[in-house]
């Protein structure tokens, strides 16, 4: 307590508190203090025992450049993953690399933040850190960008098959090889699905094929969802539990 400018003992005014002490990125503030009777806290009465004891509540707050930088980088990485929705599906390596790297970099930032914190209790115990939750949510958005590309490619391939012209295909004959028989039966099944649009299998295939335009949907849905996420997280800062004196 080197920032204390006077001796704070049991006879001091309880309402008088020292000014905050700022050390680098930490601010130390004494929020409460009280005097205790030596006999009530179990100290043996010896010539060396203290005559009076004071109890104080100290709050540590952090205003770090690293804190702001980590949050800014996570937002920029989510924006970078969003830019991938404007890259054509034909450039698959670029899309996959962009989404995967953004996901991995936010994950590394989250691990770095957790490594600097003391061991935390389970989230079910209402001990959560706002910054780690924000980074975790940003990481999920980057992961969604990667999953969206996989779903879009699968839907695009299914859509191309449905767009092929319908043509009659002969039944497999005995002279065909096993591979040719499988291909012929698969083609017949595709044609039948096109001829029976109300069958359950056909409806499922058409629903999968409708995912070929996911990029157009995510171009406006993705940023809207992330803005809502940021607003909700900022508005919930005061709900996170802070350690304070209960006396």
Q: What is the pLDDT along the chain (247 residues), one digit of tens a residue?
A: 455 544 444 445 545 677 777 776 677 777 777 766 666 556 666 666 666 667 777 776 766 677 788 899 999 999 999 999 998 888 888 889 999 999 999 999 988 888 876 666 665 555 678 888 899 999 999 999 999 998 888 888 888 777 665 444 445 555 556 556 566 666 656 655 554 555 555 677 777 777 888 888 899 999 999 999 999 999 988 877 665 566 5
Half-sphere exposure of 211 (CA within 13 A, CB side): 15
Angle between helices 200-209 and 130-162 (to 10 degrees): 120
Contact criterion met (CB below 8 Å) for 243 and 128: no
| pLDDT recorded at residue 140 | 95
Dump strand ranges (E) for the chain.
Answer: 21-23, 26-36, 53-62
Q: Is 84 exposed, middle or buried (0-12, 13-18, 19+ CB in 10 A)?
A: buried
| pLDDT recorded at residue 11 | 46
Domain ranges in the chain? 1-63, 66-239
- C-alpha 123/C-alpha 128 separation (Å) is 6
| pLDDT recorded at residue 27 | 77
Q: Is the pTM of this model over 0.85?
A: no
Identify the CATH number of the domain defined by range 66-239. Answer: 1.20.58.390
Angle between helices 65-83 and 130-162 (to 10 degrees): 10
- C-alpha 183/C-alpha 130 separation (Å) is 55
């Amino acid at each position: 307590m080197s920032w204390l400018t006077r001796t704070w003992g049991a006879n001091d005014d309880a309402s008088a508190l020292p000014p905050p002490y700022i050390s680098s990125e930490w601010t130390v503030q004494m929020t409460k203090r009280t005097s205790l009777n030596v006999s009530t806290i179990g100290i043996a009465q010896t010539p060396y025992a203290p005559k009076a004891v004071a109890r104080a509540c100290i709050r540590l707050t952090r205003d770090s450049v690293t804190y702001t930088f980590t949050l800014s980088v996570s937002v920029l990485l989510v924006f970078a993953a969003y830019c991938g929705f404007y890259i054509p599906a034909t450039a698959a390596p670029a899309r996959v690399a962009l989404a995967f790297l953004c996901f991995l970099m936010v994950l590394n930032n989250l691990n770095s933040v957790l490594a600097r914190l003391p061991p935390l209790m389970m989230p079910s115990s209402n001990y959560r850190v706002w910054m780690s939750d924000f980074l975790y949510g940003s990481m999920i958005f980057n992961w969604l960008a990667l999953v969206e590309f996989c779903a879009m490619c699968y839907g695009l391939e299914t859509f191309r098959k449905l767009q092929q012209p319908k043509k009659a295909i002969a039944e497999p004959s005995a002279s065909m090889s096993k591979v040719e028989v499988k291909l012929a039966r698969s083609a017949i099944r595709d044609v039948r699905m096109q001829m029976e649009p109300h069958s359950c299998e056909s409806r499922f295939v058409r629903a999968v094929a409708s995912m070929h335009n996911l990029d157009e949907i995510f171009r406006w849905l993705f940023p809207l969802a992330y803005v809502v996420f940021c607003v909700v997280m900022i508005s919930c800062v005061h709900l996170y539990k802070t350690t304070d004196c209960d006396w």
